Amino acid sequence: MSKTGRVVLAALTMSVAFIAARPVPAHADVRHCFAHLPNSVADYQSVTDGRDANFGIGDITSVVKLPDGRRFFALGDTAYYTLNPDGSSGPITGFGNNSAWVQSENCFTLLDRAGPGSRSWVLPPQQDGSFYWPGASIVVGSRLYVFMQRLVANTPFGTSLGSAVAAFDLPSLKLARLTPIPWMAQRVFGDGAVYDGGYVYTYAPQRRTCAFCFTSDMYVARVPESQIMVPSAWRFRSGSSWVSDRNAATPVLRDAVSNADVQRYGNGFLLITKTLSIFGPPVEAWWAPNPEGPWRDLGTVYSVPSPPPSRVPGYTYHEAYTYNPVLLASTRLADGGLLGSYNVNSFDPTDPQRDGRLFGPRFASIAVPAPPSAPARATSSPDVSPWTPTFGVDGTGRVRTLGGGVPFDRSYTAHAVAMARTPTARGGWIAAADGGVFAYGDAPFYGSMGGVRLNQPVVGMAATPTGRGYWLVARDGGIFSFGDARFYGSTGSIRLNKPIVAMAASPTGSGYWFVASDGGVFSFGDARFFGSTGGAPPPVPVSGMAATPDGRGYWLVNFAGQVYAFGGANYAGNAPLPLAGLSIGILAAPGGYRIVDTAGNIFERAVVQGQSRISSPTPFVAAG
């Protein structure tokens, strides 16, 4: 994230803080369409300048072209307000920390969340007051990754608390996973990103500490794309090698960047950056034959107006500044230049009040020299999507992988009650009723309750998003945590109307939910309560639970395959009748969910994907 977009955040957030948190209704995406294909700076600028209370405007943090030709614009702080006749800003009617535009031919669609409350598309502000701000975007096969920085608005530019990567399914753009990634307070990776040779490379600027230094050094990290959700798989560039110790990393470009917008260009890689952060107009281009360098300066390719021109005739900004230039090398405008943009903000609050079009991107046509000659780079085929497989375990403890992946034929336990998988979907854990845990594939063993006398048998299990820990939950709601899984509370000392049957973890790993057989839901940590069927139990007991990837809702399923959706979880149908077996679990999937039954069937329910049925030759007793 560029730290320069935080000045007005506190005021904007306070303006919408009074909006009560209530269940979020469905809403139609808002569109802005042209009569022709946009091919000029004026066309793209009209999207930004044509703001109103429905079509929010935010800082552009990255732009990528999707495989079907659409363009995806990641947006940061997004405000919703109308313009007064004199061009000044009207009252703010909504605000979100992340949103996106999707350009499909001549139309731009805004991706956000309906109010009331936060309009953030990916994740709303957390209980600790932190929020997620997007950075780089990258497409790998049928997946879109958006890097997110978690911040708290306790200073004008905010304080970074962590990082995550959000994975979206294409073409649906439905969130599949959101997982924390390695983070350092002064060097936050995710400002830029590229894919090459099976690896995701991501960049971080770090401000130099010398007196009167206004530029940053650039660092690079990489991770196998199939393990992007596994923190231990990340490596950091140090000299001529890749190391696991992030503190041992060294700059690949010194004293030359503010942001790090990197993309493929020719047979190499193009870096676009404003060298002097919010000071000075030059936008520089650098080129390298490899993602880590060596970097060659192509010179100044654009000069940002300083100060930027006001959109209100006759008005001059008092303390406006510019930052975060980005470029879309795959989009050439009618004048021959490439589509670029930068963002505008101001230290003086009267500037955005007088000019309601100050905030947000300013588009530009940028002329970049042709890429230097270099050998063609080998292409690589991305791995199967890690959220495609569904694991099931049979009565002898053998694991079957459906919809992709490798089965695990070894028998682990005849008393399996739950299972969870690693972030790579190349392994997981089986939990037995006595609290024993059995790791398979690439899953490490972090401990178990095997051999310990339990008050009640274990009935459920959930893994942390890092894959470095897991929880077990017992029938009475007693919780047991292992690895990096922390204890956030339990119902072990509470008399329950009905026993606990399953659990689910929040996407941050800082909370979890339990569900009882009557559909009563118990939330702990940062897991929010969105409703339950506890007051009106289903005719058939609840058997499973799954949280939405963004943590804004959850689904419950009963043995009859009936699904109950709460919060932001969409209802897409039940398991079909007649049932071949009892429905024992439900799993989140891009755009919907999968229902698993004891006969080894998987019924996929999604708004855009329709449904599918996959059968296993062996009946399941648990699935994950």
**Whether residues 616 and 514 fall in one domain:** yes
* pLDDT at residue number 23: 32
- Would you say residue 330 has pLDDT above 70? yes
Cis omega (within 30 of 0) on the bond before 578? yes
Residues 464 and 324 in one domain: no
* pLDDT score for 329: 86
| pLDDT, average across residues 330-345 | 94
Is residue 589 assigned to a domain?
Answer: yes
Residue 15 has pLDDT above 60, yes or no: no
Overall average pLDDT of the 462-481 stretch? 94
Nearest to 62 by CA among 163, 186, 191, 184: 191
Average pLDDT over residues 45-52: 88
- The pLDDT tens digits of the residues spanning 198-238 come to 999 999 999 887 766 678 999 999 999 888 877 888 999 99
Judgement on whether residues 618 and 552 belong to the same structural domain of the protein: yes
Which one, of 388, 383, 407, 443, lies nearest residue 616 by Cα? 407
Looking at the fold, whether 433 and 396 belong to one and the same domain comes out as yes
- Region 45-54 average pLDDT: 88
Is pLDDT at 25 greater than 80 in this prediction? no
Q: Are 275 and 282 in contact (CB under 8 A)?
A: yes
Asked if pLDDT for residue 543 goes beyond 90, the answer is yes
- Domain membership of residue 591 (yes or no) is yes
* pLDDT, greater one: 618 or 339: 339
Give 264-288 as a DSSP string: EETTEEEEEEETTTTSS-EEEEEEE
Whether 42 and 186 share a structural domain: yes
Tell which residue, 599, 607, 602, has the closest CA to residue 624: 602
Residue where a domain terminates, one of 366, 400, 430: 366
Q: Is the bond preceding 386 in cis, omega lying within 30 degrees of 0? A: no
Share of the chain above pLDDT 90, in %: 58
Query: Same domain, yes or no, for 555 and 613?
Result: yes
402 and 334, same structural domain? no
More confident residue, 163 or 622: 163
Q: For residue 371, tell me if it sits in a domain.
A: no
Which whole number is the average pLDDT over 74-89?
Answer: 93
User: At 527, phi and psi to the nearest 5?
Assistant: -75, 120
Average pLDDT over residues 140-167: 88
pLDDT in the model for residue 305: 92
pLDDT band at 326 (very low <50, low <70, confident <90, very high): very high
Quote the pTM value: 0.81
Q: Which of 56-65, 438-447, 579-588 has the lowest mean pLDDT?
A: 579-588
361/473 same-domain check: no
- 385 has pLDDT over 90: no
- Answer yes or no: do 401 and 359 share one domain: no
CA distances to 149, 174, 317, 420, 618 from 598, rounded to whole Å, are 41, 28, 66, 17, 9
167: containing domain: 3-366
- Domain CATH number, residue 338: 2.115.10
Rounded to the nearest integer, the mean pLDDT of the chain is: 87
pLDDT of residue 11 exceeding 70: no
**Which whole number is the average pLDDT over 520-532?**
95
Residue 339, pLDDT > 70, answer: yes
Secondary structure class of 49 (helix, strand, coil): helix
Which one has a higher pLDDT value, 16 or 97? 97
Residue 493: its pLDDT value, please?
Answer: 82
Which of 382, 476, 397, 468 shows the shortest CA–CA distance to 431? 397
500-517 tens-digit pLDDT? 999 999 988 899 999 999
| pLDDT at 467 > cutoff 90 | no
Does 177 have pLDDT greater than 90? no
- In percent, how much of the chain has pLDDT > 70? 91
Residue with tokens 């552009």: 60
CA-nearest of 578, 571, 541 to 554 is 571
Q: What does DSSP say about strands 437-441 and 320-332: parallel, antiparallel, or unpaired?
A: unpaired
User: Domain check: are 483 and 347 in the same one?
Assistant: no
Rounded distance, CA 242 to CA 236, Å?
5
In the listed set 333, 366, 399, which residue is the last one of a domain according to the structure? Answer: 366
Q: Does residue 381 belong to any structural domain of this protein?
A: no
**Stretch 130-143: mean pLDDT:** 91
User: What sign does the CA torsion over 159, 164, 167, 172 have?
Assistant: negative
* Interval 233-291: pLDDT, tens: 899 999 999 999 999 999 999 999 999 999 999 999 999 999 887 878 999 999 999 99
In a domain? residue 209 = yes
Compute the distance between CA of residue 550 and CA of residue 78 in angstroms, rounded to an integer: 19
Element (H, E) at 75: strand 71-83
pLDDT at position 614 is 54
| Residues 173, 261 within the same domain | yes
pLDDT value at residue 29: 67
Q: Tell whether 127 is covered by a domain.
A: yes
Domain boundary among 332, 366, 400: 366
Residue 52, pLDDT score: 82
Domain count, the chain: 2
Co-location of 404 and 478 in the same domain: yes
Q: What is the pLDDT of residue 613?
A: 53
Q: Is residue 410 part of a domain?
A: yes
Average pLDDT over residues 446-465: 93
In a domain, 444, yes or no: yes
CATH number for the domain including 512?
A: 2.130.10.10
